[in-house]
Amino acid sequence: MRILGIDPGYGITGFGVIEAERGRSVLLQCGAITTPAGMDFSARLEIIYEDMRQLLEATKPDAVAIEELFFGQNVTTGIGVAQARGVVLLAIRQAGLEVTSYKPMQVKQAVVGYGNATKHQVQDMTKRLLGLSAMPKPDDAADAIAIALCHARSSTSLLANAQRQIDN
């Protein structure tokens, strides 16, 4: 299964594409969609949307996983990230793909086995699971890879398979 993981943002939207099969995952591609600071915000959203459409077309994922928003101290930044996440979701929907959202704690739990893991622990385990010599940069791409790994582990779990059988 080819999985596209997305870490949404309006300055940097990280992405990671993995191929997951029988408990093994391989990193195929990763990177970031970036927009210049100071640019009109609606123009930044347009860049994110268009680049996401092109990414979806180029990578042809079977599944897409995206991080849910966590509003910390800065609600203003959170609103901008929410808008960027919205255009990403629109591009995914228009591509005819379903998307699964994961909370940061779920990603940490799936990748590290501990929901309160540090960012460094998540990156280290991601690197180990994929057999990488170094963690990809920027951090947003690394986070997106972890989100894709979370989906690979969650979507193939016995519980997830049982739920799909109930839904069908």
Q: Tell me: the pLDDT tens digits for 64-114?
A: 999 998 766 666 678 899 999 999 999 999 999 999 999 999 999 999 999
How many domains are contained in the chain? 1
102 neighbors 142 (Cβ within 8 angstroms): no
* CATH code of residue 41: 3.30.420.10
- The reported pLDDT for the residue numbered 23 is 84
- The reported pLDDT for the residue numbered 22 is 85
Which positions ≥6 away from 113 have C-beta within 8 Å?
none
Which positions ≥6 away from 95 have C-beta within 8 Å?
53, 56, 57
Domain range enclosing 51? 2-167
Q: Would you please indicate which residues are annotated as catalytic (active-site) residues? A: 7, 67, 140
